[in-house]
């Protein structure tokens, strides 16, 4: 578990309603990544969002580094633009699978949640591989009637990364 | 069968199997340098287990007595431990009894190491301290009378440190670390490791499906930096025309790719046409990524240093790290990145380093492109026969250069490598 993401008491009916809404969020978020709509990816985040991908060894030891570390939506847009326009990498198909969603609590209208994720990757002329197994630690805020990520920490168990991680998680 | 009677195809296969270097000399690097299991095994014997200093740890990772970390010398697992007297010891992570790799966590603190299989116990220096039932039970069994604990510890390596960086060597007669690095390398090494205490920010680990030497070559190849990496080119970090240097030590094995940031680079139209990676219209929404806070006694804003055979020192503006190469056979290696700042960094400086970390690592704007390109090359070599790389930029010059458009440092590396390997 990531520090700051302990489960707190929550009204069960409210938790169920949030679960539905966040499941929809995950499905749309993953569809954008899996369908190569990287330009849409920043739209799932609030302006002041924190986005970090880090290994579980770092998360467990409280080490702050991120494989990807973005402070604010501008950095997310820059990464999306780089992937779309300038980065050199082999073509690939990706599938993001999200399960075991837990609503952890609501405080000051911010919803904390976690979920497990798997990322499958397929390169040209290669077998499909399990590229990442990890867990999302999220905080959502309701902005303009829509849930947006204020914070997303992608903590992966798959510490030895197979060559590169090109797309966000 | 006399040679003259051999069909031509056998002749060429035989030349590859005998590891005969192409007639063009250092202008060619034959594929078997990167793909042969026989060559790889000789590298383990003569390089990783030979008279080399291998980077194994930063002292900041093991500050207290009893602190340890898993590490590697070439492909060989080792433990780096700080004993109760504060001295650092490096020993093989392989039980003297049945060979088990006994130390499993990445890091920790311990008073001793116990192999879980039969509980042979080693102290923090790697000495065998206890063997259960050594005298047998009720007068039966046990180790032979003459069994001597002293003679059966795990294999211990020579250790050398400089300003908080720990190196190990399997050879007892490796030259002193300062001589091994040489004055050309020490200048930029000491700019990063200047005696200030390091603060570990975290780790990345990845495999690269390529020969381990390609990582050295990539950082001795300033030519690629101006062509492959849009971030370097577009934001003026390293472009043809910047003040830059490829610095090579006299042996040819180490190198520093250095450049000085130029804030207002105007790239002329001719150069733009040469560089497909240049995007004039590309602007960062958050330009903090490329900020450079001057903090080093160095004319360079970037130094990427390859310390033969397993270390890279990364100083890319303000993002700092070591990279450790762990070869896994001829066709693959692992890379362990240890990212750090300094004790006393302000919160803003810490976060600046973290933001700038987006440039490097297996998801970094520069790092991922390097890893992808190396995979492309190894795929090309693995799937064909009897080819050779062409290394002719800059003619036959070897060693240091002030132009980026040269492969002189790669030729110098292979002059050294061929001498050690006897090919």
Whichever domain contains B375, its CATH number is 3.90.380.10
CA closest to B319 among chain A residues: A65
Paired sense of beta strands B88-92 and B165-169, if any: unpaired
Closest CA to B65 of B49, B52, B81: B81
- N-term to C-term CA, chain B: 25
CA dihedral of B233, B244, B163, B125, whole degrees rounded to 10: 70
Q: Which CATH class is domain A12-156?
A: alpha beta
**Chain A residues with CB inside 8 Å of B231's CB?**
82, 86
Domain assignment present for B353:
yes
Residue B83 banded pLDDT, cuts 50, 70, 90: very high
CATH number of the domain residue B86 falls in: 2.102.10.10
Closest CA to A149 of A121, A102, A96, A111: A111
Where does B74-220 show beta strands of DSSP type E?
A: 76-82, 88-92, 107-109, 113-114, 121-122, 128-130, 158-162, 165-169, 198-208
B89 with B218, same domain: the answer is no
Asked whether residue A17 carries a pLDDT value surpassing 80, the answer given is: yes
- The average pLDDT across A121-140 equals 98
Task: Write out pLDDT tens, residues B161-198.
Answer: 999 999 999 999 999 999 999 999 999 999 999 999 99
Distance (Å) from the alpha carbon of A54 to chain B's nearest alpha carbon: 8
Residues 39-98 in A contacting B (C-alpha not used; CB under 8 Å): 53-55, 57-58, 61, 63-75, 77-79, 81-82, 85-90
CB atoms within 10 A of CB B27: 17
3-state DSSP assignment of residue B416: helix
Task: Decide which of B93, B127, B160 is a domain's last residue.
Answer: B160
3-state DSSP assignment of residue B76: strand
Name B410's Cβ contacts closer than 8 Å, sequence gap at least 6: B29, B217, B220, B221, B391
B234 vs A: CB within 8 A: yes
B213 with B95, same domain: the answer is no
B245 with B390, same domain: the answer is yes
B97 with B189, same domain: the answer is no
- The average pLDDT across B116-123 equals 97
Tokens standing for B193?
């490791």
Q: Determine the longest span between alpha carbons in chain B, in angstroms.
A: 89
- Total number of domains in chain B: 2
Distance (Å) from the alpha carbon of A20 to chain B's nearest alpha carbon: 32
Extents of the domains making up chain A: 12-156
Task: Write out pLDDT tens, residues B277-294.
Answer: 566 667 889 989 989 999
Paired sense of beta strands A92-107 and A110-123, if any: antiparallel
In angstroms, rounded to a whole number, what is the distance separating the alpha carbons of residues B417 and B398?
13
Buried b (16+ CB within 10 A) or exposed e, B228-244: bbbbbbbbbbbbbebeb
Contacts of B365-368 with CB under 8 Å at 24 or more apart are: B365/A82, B365/A86, B365/A87, B365/B229, B365/B230, B365/B231, B366/B229, B366/B231, B366/B232, B366/B316, B367/A164, B368/A87, B368/A89, B368/A164, B368/A165, B368/A166
**Chain B residues with CB inside 8 Å of A39's CB?**
none
CA closest to A71 among chain B residues: B355
pTM: 0.93
Q: Distance of CA A42 to CAs A33, A72, A168, B416, Å?
A: 11, 10, 10, 49
Asked whether residue B242 carries a pLDDT value surpassing 80, the answer given is: no
Task: Decide which of B160, B194, B227 is a domain's last residue.
Answer: B160
Closest CA to B290 of B366, B396, B210: B366
Can you spell out the DSSP letters for B8-40? HHHHHHHHHHTTPPPTTGGGEEETHHHH-HHHH
B381 with B415, same domain: the answer is yes
Supply the pLDDT for residue B16.
54
**Chain A residues with CB inside 8 Å of B373's CB?**
88
Task: Decide which of B160, B193, B211 is a domain's last residue.
Answer: B160
In angstroms, rounded to a whole number, what is the distance separating the alpha carbons of residues B287 and B363?
19
Task: Write out pLDDT tens, residues B29-80.
Answer: 999 999 999 999 999 999 999 999 999 999 999 999 999 999 999 999 999 9
B355 vs A: CB within 8 A: yes
Domain assignment present for B122:
yes
Task: Write out pLDDT tens, residues B209-228.
Answer: 999 999 999 999 988 987 89
ipTM field: 0.97
């Amino acid at each position: 578990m990531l520090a700051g993401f302990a489960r707190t008491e929550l009204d069960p009916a409210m938790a169920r309603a949030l679960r539905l809404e966040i499941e929809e969020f995950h499905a749309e978020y993953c569809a954008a990544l899996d369908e190569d709509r990287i330009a849409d990816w920043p739209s799932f985040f609030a302006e002041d969002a924190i986005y970090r991908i880090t290994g579980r060894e770092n998360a467990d030891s409280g080490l702050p580094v991120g494989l990807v570390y973005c402070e604010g939506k501008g950095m997310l847009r820059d990464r999306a633009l780089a992937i779309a326009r300038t980065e050199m990498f082999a073509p690939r198909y990706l599938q993001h699978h999200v399960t075991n969603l837990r609503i952890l609590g609501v405080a000051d209208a911010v919803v904390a949640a976690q979920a497990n994720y798997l990322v499958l990757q397929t390169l040209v002329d290669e077998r499909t591989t399990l590229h990442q197994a990890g867990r999302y630690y999220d905080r959502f805020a309701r902005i303009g009637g829509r849930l947006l990520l204020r914070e997303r920490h992608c903590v992966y168990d798959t510490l030895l990364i197979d060559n590169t991680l090109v797309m966000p998680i | 069968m006399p040679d003259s009677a051999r069909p031509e195809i056998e002749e060429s296969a035989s030349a590859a199997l005998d590891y005969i270097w192409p007639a063009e000399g250092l202008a060619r690097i034959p594929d078997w340098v990167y793909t042969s299991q026989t060559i790889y095994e000789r590298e383990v014997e003569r390089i990783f287990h030979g008279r080399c200093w291998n980077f194994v740890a930063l002292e900041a990772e093991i500050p207290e007595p009893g602190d340890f970390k898993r590490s590697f010398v070439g492909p060989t697992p080792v433990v780096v431990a700080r004993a109760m007297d504060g001295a650092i010891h490096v020993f093989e992570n392989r039980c003297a009894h049945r060979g088990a790799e006994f130390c499993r966590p990445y890091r920790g603190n311990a008073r001793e190491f116990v192999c879980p299989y039969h509980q042979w116990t080693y102290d923090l220096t790697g000495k065998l301290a206890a063997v259960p039932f050594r005298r047998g039970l009720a007068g039966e069994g046990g180790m032979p009378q003459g069994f001597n604990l002293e003679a059966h510890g795990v294999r211990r390596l020579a250790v050398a440190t400089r300003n908080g960086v720990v190196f190990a060597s399997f050879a007892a007669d490796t030259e002193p670390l300062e001589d091994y690095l040489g004055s050309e390398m020490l200048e930029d090494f000491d700019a990063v490791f200047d005696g200030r205490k390091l603060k570990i920010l975290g780790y990345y680990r990845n495999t690269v499906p390529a020969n381990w030497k390609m990582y050295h070559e990539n950082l001795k190849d300033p030519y690629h930096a101006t062509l492959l990496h849009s971030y370097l080119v577009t934001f003026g970090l390293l472009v043809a025309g910047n003040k830059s240097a490829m610095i090579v030590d006299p042996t040819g094995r180490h190198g520093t790719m250095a450049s000085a940031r130029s804030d207002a680079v105007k790239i002329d139209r001719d150069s733009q046409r040469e560089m497909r990676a240049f995007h004039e219209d590309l602007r960062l929404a958050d330009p903090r990524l490329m900020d450079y806070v001057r903090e080093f006694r160095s004319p360079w804003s970037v130094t990427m240093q390859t310390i033969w055979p397993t270390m890279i020192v990364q100083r890319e503006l303000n993002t700092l790290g070591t990279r450790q190469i762990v070869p896994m056979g001829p066709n693959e290696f692992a890379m362990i990145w240890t990212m750090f700042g300094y004790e006393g960094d302000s919160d803003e400086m810490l976060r600046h380093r973290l933001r700038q970390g987006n440039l490097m690592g297996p998801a970094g704007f520069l790092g991922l492109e390097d890893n992808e390109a190396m995979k492309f090359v190894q795929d090309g070599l693995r799937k064909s026969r009897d080819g050779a790389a062409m290394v002719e930029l800059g003619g036959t010059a070897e060693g240091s250069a002030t132009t980026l458009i040269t492969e002189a440092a790669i030729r110098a590396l292979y002059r050294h490598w061929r001498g050690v390997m006897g090919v």
